[in-house]
Structure 1
Amino acid sequence: MLWPLSICFLSFTFLMLSSLSLFILGLYFIMSDLSLMIEWEIFSLNSSAVVMTFLFDWMSLLFMSFVLFISSLVIFYSEEYMYGDLNINRFIILVLMFVLSMMFLIISPNLISILLGWDGLGLVSYCLVIYYQNVKSYNAGMLTALSNRVGDVALLMAIAWMLNFGSWNYIYYLDAMNMSESMIIIAILVMLAAMTKSAQLPFSSWLPAAMAAPTPVSALVHSSTLVTAGVYLLIRFNPIIVCGNLGLILLLISGLTMFMAGLGANFEYDLKKIIALSTLSQLGLMMSILAMGFPKLAFFHLLTHALFKALLFMCAGAIIHNLKNCQDIRYMGDLCSQMPLTSVCFHVSNLALCGMPFLAGFYSKDLILEISSLSYLNMLSFFLYYFSTGLTVCYSFRLIYYSMVGDFNFFSFHSLQDEGWIMLRGMLTLMSMAIMGGCLLSWILFPTPVMVCLPPTLKLLVLLISVMGGWMGYELSKFELSYKLQALKYYLTITFMGSMWFTPLISTYGVNYYPLLLGEYMYHVWDQGWSEQWGGVMFTKIFRYLSIVVQYVQNNSLKISMISFVFWGTILVMLMLP
């Protein structure tokens, strides 16, 4: 293998240089308060112009630079992770198509071009989820694709309804929409599309199922691309989501998603699924602060979360590699002494996820929780915010105890070590960003200091909840099987909480299975039933017997009595009846 000429190295170099360029350009746009819109007229037909529009502002440029930065490191990491795969070039091309679709979505102020990126993400994600080509991957890919189609249909209906405004460039109409009656319909459709793509309740089950994809894909999907597309769309549409009661509905749904994911992760033993549920929890946090009308804060957490979540998946991939593709955390343990560098990266990303002070997650999560305490918030939402934060720390400490600290329960004869330098370089680069990225972004996005005045009890509540969550996680990790196991008394409750409140059953049967069964039934009854009987089959019978009558008339040289006509007419009418 010629390393300098490999497709991985070339893609990594190009994406990294593009990321740095866009980051510098984004800083310039922030400082100059610039916003640039480029219109490219593809063709004009009968004075109707088909125009492709690109929006470059500080938000799109910063987001693009982060997506390209993470995807470049993921491709760099994949060179070693996917080593030996005969189809690695296909894999890298699919990842590049995935990133390109995300770029289209980010820079589009037009719903038609957003749909181009939106559907591109859906189709390429299907190809990536079924990459390993087994039954489990196919089922997961179909669940992912069909669940996301609900949002795609909602976006298509929003495009149709936007015709009331005369153009699909929604960016021009956000202020006008606030005054119009059409606003509520477009807002509902866009919110539904964003909820399916960002896996909010009741569409949450596809996110853990998508873990069937290779780990580098999971790192990319869960950090900055597929699942963040819905959040980004709502950030752009925020002015019309907040007004009315839609914001309250979104706040409730996202809070319940956050709570459900945090609860489910404490009963999960699959390493990748625990991290996937943590992504779901953080998406709920972003959606809830969006519903309260703070899009800039949601965007801030979106970027910081992308850094440490990509690192968390990379570390998980290195651990799974070493444990011969075993993902059960009960088999892991004492990895600190066996894989020290990977363990350091894993701990840093986990602590950033918990909101450890002065790591990347702290700056955004702490600010979101303080703003929520400062805002006009009902008791249920307040409880969901803080209890879900405690659950995040709880499952993180449980994961650390099982994988890093406890006893090693895999093969007695084993050879564990840190992965090669290619994977470690990617992980260490992201670790530096997971440490410094939060303060760097807070200086860029919030250059003017803002005072959040809260009483000491509310100020210290976040810290108290985090400490209690960590202690609970430690206590949960010490549970062991014995004849005195009390958990069996609450088996149904634990099954309900550990299976994401039965959303996989709702999605599998309610969204996919029964509608497809109904479609098959309608196909048999209508397409092959009544429409066939009254359509093609009936006309075939009519023309067949008419031709018989015509032949009879011709053969008798028109010497025929009226009785014959009546007789054949009666037969014809009887045959026409079903």
Structure 2
Amino acid sequence: MWYISMHLISLIFLCGSSFSCILLSLSCLHHSVVSVIEWDIMSLNSSSIIMTLIFDWVSFMFLGFVLFISSMVLFYSGSYMEGDKNFNRFMYLVLAFVTSMGALIISPNLISILLGWDGLGLVSYALVIFYQNEKSANAGMLTVLSNRVGDVAILLSISLMFVMGGWNFILYSSYMSDSGFLLMKYLIILAAMTKSAQIPFSAWLPAAMAAPTPVSALVHSSTLVTAGVYLLIRFSPALMGSESQTVLLVVSCLTMFMAGLGANFEYDLKKIIALSTLSQLGVMMSALALGLVDLAFFHLLAHALFKALLFMCAGVIIHAVKEYQDIRCMGALTYSMPLTSTCMNLANLALCGMPFLAGFYSKDLILEVAFMSNMNLLSFILYILATGLTVCYSFRLVYYSLTGLFNLSSMSQVNDSSFVMTGPMITLSLGAVMGGCFLSWLIFPEVYMVCLTFTFKVLALGLSVLGALVGYLLNIMSVNYSLKSLIYYSSVVFMGSMWFMPYLSTLELGKSSLKSAGVYMSVGDYGWSEKLGGQGLYNYFLNQAKYLQIFQNNSVGIYMKSFLIWVIVMGFMVIYL
């Protein structure tokens, strides 16, 4: 088939590019080389607008991972999107999405970074509304409007950075003290919070699940949601020792706790995985707030591998059970889909931080270093609860979809037959198993010193075991669990609905803000602004021009009439005087 040959070409090209980027990254890391390419576009008031590209081990490594996961997703899409009448459009949109992310990765300049930043927002909107229905349209509008807040914050940051004489934040971020640039730091953090869906902008991330599953695998692993984390990684020298770090720490800890709590009450397969992404983004942001920049980048790369695998497994399962997404309509898939079940269990265990899988090397190290740091008690408690909840919802998902009761009624043809979908899953499974140790050897060649008491050392592992028992055993006793949830219905709704954030982000705030905006527009923009502004001045000068035109017609009659009127007026004035 032509789409398989097309995907083979894309797979070979993107895989070759990703391996080249990773090799270049290792070379830059070994030799401590940073290459910066820039050219002057224009100069304004001694500030030059410069197009800048940076090539160091961070940009090469991240770009290599993005290209590798994109190649797997595109190849996987050949079977998942088979028969879709808009298949070509889907392919071009995904490639545009990857291009925008690449532009963002290699841009150290606030002006040039807008190319990738706005490109991600625009293409993500087009992908979320790919299935043209009301739900997708609403989700797309929520996504793009939430991200526009971050775009405005970036534009305001550009204006505030004008005083530095340039917009290259890689060069200037070390010189930004709190006294003069605190507002700018908060704006950059605000932009990162919108892209990475931190509280109060978390509602758009589960809503974006209206996009096709291959898009979700790409968006939630290495592209759109990680753009905010990557921006803060590049901007980290300006945040060190700043009071903005405390705000970021509290917000990120609340986000990962809220996402873990919500995932334990969710039944949509894709939304559970989306909330797990939100929880891991909170871990990365909290690591950045604690000053652990290398660990945040390490977890960003390790998380990309197993989260893309988790979404691919979810897509295969949804395809196999005839497009159901409710995990209560699945069950006992280990018998009919052993390969997919194995890959999904690998991804789930890596997410939970199972020893010697990819997530363990990054997540466990972040937890231990965070326990060593001087964090406040609230953040520490939220860290502990979020760690336990992550394992809890992962094992709950395993029970309902893979090992529980068979709930597929009379459906058949549930199998692992498509190699086009299972091939990329097997490849990413190798990354989920071995990616963490390889990355730790490359990024941290020296030993990372961790000094903890025995209690703190076993705390993360103990919480994982406790969360696994609670998540699995509570759902085995599902009847009593469901009855208890009905007794405490209001509390369950609050915890399961992301603390009413989707409701606040769409219905009430949307209605009131749109109504207020309509009043302001009719009174201001279409009212007094038109009367006293540009349109009013236009009408005034137009009327005055009519009188000028009369005097410029060179008509003798008009001059004579004017002369007679002047004579009469002067005569009356003489008589009066």
TM-score, length-scaled by structure 1: 0.91
Q: Structure 1 residues 533 and 50 mapped into 2: Cα distance closer, same or farther (>3 Å)?
A: closer
Q: Which moved more, 1:299-308 or 1:43-52?
A: 43-52
Q: Which moved more, 1:8-17 or 1:509-518?
A: 509-518
TM-score, length-scaled by structure 2: 0.91
Deviation at 1:14, TM superposition (A): 1.1
Instruction: Determine the structure 1 residue equivalent to 2:135.
Output: 136
Contact 1:373 1:458 in 2 (8 A): yes
Instruction: Determine the structure 2 residue equivalent to 1:508.
Output: 506
Q: What is the distance in 2 between the residues matched to 1:126 and 1:236?
A: 26
Deviation at 1:39, TM superposition (A): 1.5
Instruction: Determine the structure 2 residue equivalent to 1:56.
Output: 55
Q: Which moved more, 1:409-418 or 1:159-168?
A: 409-418
Instruction: Determine the structure 1 residue equivalent to 2:575.
Output: none
- One-letter amino acid of the structure 2 residue matched with residue 110 of structure 1: N
Q: What is the distance in 2 between the residues matched to 1:466 and 1:215?
A: 28
Deviation at 1:284, TM superposition (A): 0.3
Q: What is the distance in 1 between the residues matched to 2:481 and 2:356?
A: 44
Q: Structure 1 residues 396 and 537 mapped into 2: Cα distance closer, same or farther (>3 Å)?
A: same
- One-letter amino acid of the structure 1 residue matched with residue 2 of structure 2: L
Instruction: Determine the structure 1 residue equivalent to 2:568.
Output: none
Secondary structure (helix, strand or coil) at the match of 2:55 reads strand
Instruction: Determine the structure 1 residue equivalent to 2:108.
Output: 109
Secondary structure (helix, strand or coil) at the match of 1:409 reads coil
Deviation at 1:109, TM superposition (A): 1.0
Instruction: Determine the structure 1 residue equivalent to 2:39.
Output: 40
- Deviation per residue, 1:254-274 (Å, 9 max, x gap): 000000000000000000000
Deviation at 1:163, TM superposition (A): 0.4
Secondary structure (helix, strand or coil) at the match of 2:52 reads strand
- One-letter amino acid of the structure 1 residue matched with residue 232 of structure 2: L
Question: Sequence identity, in percent?
Answer: 59
Contact 1:143 1:206 in 2 (8 A): yes
Q: Structure 1 residues 58 and 471 mapped into 2: Cα distance closer, same or farther (>3 Å)?
A: same
| 2:484 maps to 1:491 | no
- One-letter amino acid of the structure 2 residue matched with residue 508 of structure 1: T
Instruction: Determine the structure 2 residue equivalent to 1:190.
Output: 188
Instruction: Determine the structure 2 residue equivalent to 1:576.
Output: none
Q: Structure 1 residues 533 and 237 mapped into 2: Cα distance closer, same or farther (>3 Å)?
A: closer
Q: What is the distance in 2 between the residues matched to 1:274 and 1:486?
A: 21
Q: Structure 1 residues 253 and 534 mapped into 2: Cα distance closer, same or farther (>3 Å)?
A: closer
Contact 2:47 2:162 in 1 (8 A): no
Deviation at 1:208, TM superposition (A): 0.1
Secondary structure (helix, strand or coil) at the match of 2:83 reads coil
| 2:374 maps to 1:380 | no
Q: Which moved more, 1:251-260 or 1:488-497?
A: 488-497
Deviation at 1:43, TM superposition (A): 6.5
Instruction: Determine the structure 2 residue equivalent to 1:366.
Output: 364
Deviation at 1:486, TM superposition (A): 2.9
Q: Structure 1 residues 531 and 172 mapped into 2: Cα distance closer, same or farther (>3 Å)?
A: closer
| 2:139 maps to 1:122 | no
Instruction: Determine the structure 2 residue equivalent to 1:422.
Output: 420
- One-letter amino acid of the structure 2 residue matched with residue 28 of structure 1: S
Q: Structure 1 residues 44 and 316 mapped into 2: Cα distance closer, same or farther (>3 Å)?
A: same
In structure 2, runs of 5+ residues without a counterpart are: 551-556, 566-577
| 2:447 maps to 1:466 | no
Contact 1:105 1:114 in 2 (8 A): yes
Instruction: Determine the structure 2 residue equivalent to 1:480.
Output: 478
- One-letter amino acid of the structure 1 residue matched with residue 94 of structure 2: V
Instruction: Determine the structure 2 residue equivalent to 1:574.
Output: none
Deviation at 1:395, TM superposition (A): 0.2
- One-letter amino acid of the structure 2 residue matched with residue 156 of structure 1: L
Contact 1:318 1:419 in 2 (8 A): no
Instruction: Determine the structure 2 residue equivalent to 1:209.
Output: 207
Instruction: Determine the structure 2 residue equivalent to 1:249.
Output: 247
Instruction: Determine the structure 2 residue equivalent to 1:445.
Output: 443
- Deviation per residue, 1:124-147 (Å, 9 max, x gap): 000000001111000000000000
Q: Structure 1 residues 158 and 401 mapped into 2: Cα distance closer, same or farther (>3 Å)?
A: same
Q: What is the distance in 1 between the residues matched to 2:122 and 2:525?
A: 29
Q: What is the distance in 2 between the residues matched to 1:377 and 1:43?
A: 45
The total of aligned residue pairs comes to 557
- One-letter amino acid of the structure 2 residue matched with residue 395 of structure 1: Y
Contact 1:147 1:511 in 2 (8 A): no
Instruction: Determine the structure 1 residue equivalent to 2:317.
Output: 319
Deviation at 1:452, TM superposition (A): 1.2
Equivalence map 1:45-444=2 (5 Å): 50-178=49-177, 181-444=179-442
